[in-house]
Structures are given as structure tokens and as C-alpha cells.
Amino acid sequence: MKLSVIIVNYNVKYFLSNCLQSVLKAMENIEGEIIVVDNNSTDNSTELIQKEYSNVRLIANNFNAGFSKANNQGIKIAKGRYVLLLNPDTVVEEKCFEKCIEYMDDHDEVGGLGVKMIDGSGTFLPESKRGLPTPLVAFYKIFGLSRLFPKSKRFGAYHLGYLPMNEINEVDILSGAFMWLRKSVIDKIGGLDEAFFMYGEDIDLSYRIVKAGYKNIYFPASEIIHFKGESTKKSSVNYVLVFYRAMIIFAKKHFSDPNARIFSFLINTAVYFRAFLALIRRFVEKSYMPLLDAGIMWVFLKMIKLFYASKIVGYSNYYPDEVELMAFPLMITSWVFAQFLFGGYHQPTSMKNVFKGLAVGAVIIFISYSMLDEKMRFSRAIVAFSVAGSFVLMPSLRLLLNKFRLFKLIRITEITTGIVGSVNEIIKVKKILSSSSEKKKHLLYINPLKKSQSIDKNDEIHYSASLYQLKDLIQIKSVDELIFCMKDVVTSELIKIMQLPFIKRLGIYLNPGDGSYMLKSSSIHSIGDYILPESNPVMKSSFMRSKRFLEIVISIFMLIFSPLILFLYRNPKQFLKNMWQIMSGKIALVGYTSSDGHNYLLPITQIESIADDSIFEKKKMEYILNYGIEKDLEIWLSNLNQIDRMPLGTN
């Protein structure tokens, strides 16, 4: 047997399926096997493999064994002359394996090989080629010198930035995302070191290959897509800790004591430094908009106060200090809280959400002001003008920041989307888009075949261009994103297209052969994403905040008035229990299903007495796509007599 492909999976079912489809295409002319080791995924990955990929050898662990141990499980049963360790969030081109085999067969001195990798936006991934992380190399990497001087042989040694990305070269370290290994070498030096749970094991194995007298080769003649970060969130503090701790293990294993101590010191310094930066960055990302809102409204309130005191009353110190110390902070808190509630700080957000938050903030401010004692009411005019000003200042701030790409607003105009595929595949994509929570799009259809080739005709599908006219179509029609139907597009051609300069600004989606979902990764720093027909906007953070707030308000309201309404219910004990559980978040008030493991007091399946599955699916989709807190409010008010029922899903 020529090749054994080993894929370790953990909760990335859709990426795994897409990866397997590309691997099967690449192995059509190769005697080989595919081994998937699943680390106790909870997303039905194993069921997917058993049902749709019966020719794949599956090892299903009942615990998370880690990357190294799981790969070793696969290596142990591998029968191929070559072993490929492949990440599940990758797509390989059709001739990838054939090219690698041909090169390895001609170069017996090569023990390991890595290929050119791009991310889901077509950006080259620098870890495709890496140098040995010696203490100095690690120092340059950790403290940013490698980023400042990427082409320098001294400072850019970590990612070997001075080596051309499109030339074959000898390197020190291979990437664990695509690690092509000679099985005889692995049998000689051993598999992955299981002391590395995740990260660092590829560095260790690559170094051991070199120490054994073999070469590691960077082989850009073959290219793959790596949806960077779906399995690992590399911007997180946890990643920093785990990765750099792995580097310490590597240093202690392979470096002399003095070098290992220096390396460990640098790494430990870097861990705390990077963790601190990550925390600061996260705080800034979460708080800069609320702080800006608070800042501009504080300045505006002071200006109004000064204007009224000086120009209207004629005495600049007319208003007491308590106005600034108590009233202004409370008003600003009302605006900020309402923006949080309606998703005004969620990115991307719509102006509709911003104005909803402003309206609710205004109501809170006016009601609070009206309830104050007459002696504490400082000025209705200041309150009124400040509320009016908030409707101008806060939206204007977002528009300004959006223009400079410092804050994301949802576009008012339709997104122009080009779909590259045959008629049948385009119809599948349209179905996904129409039944998901994706924003409505203006669709253009692109013929994946050459001009001289024919394609199926359909009255609903009229092609705007062929694939070779893609650049002109993007410029003329102002295309925002592209969806490639993998069944109709050659992967090697797709990879070349993704790296074209005029593609870089576009969103790229890949639709696999079965047409049931789409994959996307927007940049080297972002995790992979996917779109399903049943994508549920209720689960988005902006909707969840509103939904949760409504539930808390309703449960508190019902508990306050429970002495007056308890006699209306047959089971008052269950009524009180339900209210407490809703308030604490143990159960939800309204939901469309209980199949996701959540318990609902008022599931629409029972409320509307739906027996027919097709009608239920329709009602479910209506609830999902048209969700608003007013819908939950309507369901609650219409079913007050059922609040003492046993929640669905509980015993």
C-alpha cells in the first residue's frame, strides 16, 4: 500500500466531511487508506463517518486523547509506505498526493514533507515553512522582531521568510496540519511524543527526523487550503499558555541545560506578556464602543448643562454638583445598557438595533425622571435635549467608525454574491441561503466551465459570466463574496483563483458536493465558520441578550404578582418553580424544539398543536427567521394558563 492518510478529529464535523471529500478525490489513482481518529466528539462526527464514509477506517475514542496520542493510534495500524498526518479543516487539491509520492519516491534522503498552505481567504500561511525555534529565534518571534523584519535571515528565521514561498527548499520544521512522513523513518525514530498533548509535537517530530539524518522539505508544487484555527483559537490566552508550555517541553528535551534554561525563561516571560496583551486586547474590543458612547454623551450633557445655566438661567453654577455626579452617570448607564440589550455593540450590527436601544434608553430615562421627587428634578429641557442629541451622536459615531473600518455595521444594501457552479449545485446553494439566517443577497451565477463547453440550462438560472471572466464581473457588478460549488470546480484551480489579488477583499465560501452546508474562513486570524439551512438567529448573542432579558423581566413580574394570581393555577408549586428556573436560566420560556438539549416551558410544537412534520418545520423556520422578543411576548400572553405546566424535556 502506498499511502495512509490519518486525520484526527474533534468537533469539526462539517470541515471533516469537506476534507474527506477532497482526500477521496486525491486518492482515486492511489492505493491507500484513510484513517480517522475521533477524540470523543459531541457533534455526531462518528455517526457521519459511519453513515457517509463507510470506506474510512474509524477509531472512536471515548475520551479526548490529544493530538499526539490520537495520531499514534492511526500510525500504529497504518499500512502505507507513506503516512500523511492531515488536519480535518483542510482541503487538498486533486493531484496533491500524486505529486508528493512522485517527489518522495525520487528522494530517498527525505524523511518528511510539507506543502504550501493558504487560508480560507487565499492568504499564504507562513507556518508552511519554519525554522528550528532556538532561544534566539524564539526571542525574535516572541517579541515581534520576526514580524518587523520577515525577510531577514536573522530575525525572520522562525517562518523562514527569506525563502521564496513558491520554491522547493529544505526546512527544519513541518506543519502538523499537513505532515507527509516516510513510514520507515517513523518506525525508526518513533511516532509523536505524547508528552505534547496539543502543539509542539510537529516541531519535535520534525527535529527528530533531521537528527536521524533525513531531510524535511517544503514542497510548494502542491497546495492545500487550511481553514486556519477552526480546531484551535489561536488568539486566546489558553492557546498562548498551551503552545508556549509545549515549547518548554521541547527545549528541555533537545537543548543543553543552559540553552533550555534561557529558552524556558524567554517562554515564561512571553506567556505572561502575551496573556497580558490578550486580556488588554479583549477588554478594549469589548469596551471601546461603550466607553466612546459614554464619553461623547458625557461631553454633550456637560455642554447642554453649561448652555442652560449660562444662557437661559444666567448663572453658570446654577445646577448642583449632584447632577453631574449622579444624574449624568445614570442617564449614560441607561443608554449603554439599552445598547447592550438590543445588540448595539454587537458587530456587525444594524442601525435599526442602535435606534431600538436609543428608544428604550429614552423611555428608561423619562420614566426614571418622572418618578423623581419634585425637588430632585433638575431640568426637563436638559433631559429632553440630551435624549434628542443621543439619536444623532451615537448613530453618527458608528457611521464614522464604520467608514474607517473600526466598527462594523450591517450593510443596508443587498450583498452581491457570485455563485460558481452548475445549475443543480446553484439550486442547492440557493436553498441553503433562503432557509438560513444569512442576509438577503443579490445573486449572480457564474458558469464554472470554459466558454466552449456546454452546461445544463434552467429558466431560473441565467449565467452572468463564465469563470474566465471572473475579474471583469467582480469589477463591473461590485461583487462582495463568492461561493464555489466544489463539485463543479477543480480544487487546484480554486486554490489559484483564491490567491489572485482581486479576490483578496472578497468573502469566500466553499459549498461541498452534497450541498447541505457551506464553509467560510475570512482571514488568517479568524476561525472557520459554516452556514447551515437551519442556522438559528435566536442563538446569536444579540438575540440571546434580548430573549434572556425578557425572560428575567417576565419571571420577576410573575413572582411579584404571584400572591394575586396563584389561585388561577392548578399547580401553584410548579408555577413558582418554573418562574425561579426561568429567572436562573435553567429553563427557557419559549423555544421551537427540545432536540438541542434545552428545556422549554412553552415549546411551539405543543402550543400550536402541530402534528404534521412539514407544517412544524415551516412554523419552526418562521419563528427562527422572523424572531423578535415581541414573538415570545405574544406566545407568553397567549398561554398564561399554561405557565404551571411541566417544562418539555424534564422528568
Q: What is the mean pLDDT of residues 258-274?
A: 72
Q: What per-residue string of b and e applies to 496-522 under the rule 16 or more CB within 10 Å gives b?
A: ebbbeeebeebbbbbbbbebebbbbbb
* 37-51, 209-223, 421-435: range with lowest mean pLDDT: 421-435
In CATH, what is the architecture of 3-129+165-229? Alpha-Beta Complex (3.90)
For 553-589, the DSSP string reads HHHHHHHHTHHHHGGG-S-HHHHHHHHHHHHHTSSEE
pLDDT in tens, 316-350: 788 888 888 889 999 999 999 899 888 889 888 88
In this structure, what are the phi and psi dihedrals at residue 416, rounded to the nearest 5 degrees?
-90, 120
Q: Do domains 3-129+165-229 and 415-535 have the same CATH topology?
A: no
Q: Give the burial class of 210: count Cβ atoms within 10 A of its Cβ; 0-12 exposed, 13-18 middle, 19 or more buried.
A: middle
Q: Which residues pair with 530 in a beta bridge?
A: 519
Name, in order, each residue with C-beta under 8 angstroms of 389's C-beta and a sequence gap of 6 or more. Answer: 297, 300, 304
Q: Which residues pair with 3 in a beta bridge?
A: 32, 82
Q: Is residue 57's pLDDT more than 60?
A: yes
Q: Is residue 597's pLDDT more than 80?
A: no
What is the C-alpha separation between 544 and 67, in angstroms, rounded? Answer: 34
* The three cell numbers locating residue 510: 466553499
Label residue 443 by pLDDT band (50, 70, 90).
very high
Task: Please identify which residue in the block is written with the cell numbers 476561525.
Answer: 527
Beta strand 588-591 with 529-531 is: unpaired
Q: Where are the domains of the chain?
A: 3-129+165-229, 233-410, 415-535, 538-642
What is the C-alpha separation between 12 and 519, in angstroms, rounded? Answer: 11
What is the C-alpha separation between 400 and 47, in angstroms, rounded? Answer: 49
Q: What is the mean pLDDT of residues 55-60?
A: 95
pLDDT in tens, 539-551: 455 566 677 778 8
Q: What is the mean pLDDT of residues 3-13?
A: 93
- Give the relative orientation of helices 351-370 and 380-403 as an angle to the nearest 10 degrees: 160
Closest CA to 602 of 629, 624, 632, 559: 632
Predicted confidence at residue 439, as pLDDT, reads 60
pLDDT in tens, 114-163: 999 998 888 899 989 998 877 778 778 777 788 889 889 889 998 999 99
* 155-159, 365-369, 634-638: range with lowest mean pLDDT: 634-638
What is the C-alpha separation between 82 and 91, in angstroms, rounded? Answer: 19
Predicted confidence at residue 595, as pLDDT, reads 41
Query: Whole-prediction pTM value?
Result: 0.71
What is the C-alpha separation between 283 and 551, in angstroms, rounded? Answer: 28
Question: What is the CATH code for 415-535?
Answer: 3.40.50.720
Q: What average pLDDT does the structure give for the chain?
A: 82
Residue type, 284: V
Q: What is the mean pLDDT of residues 354-372?
A: 90
Closest CA to 319 of 332, 305, 307: 305
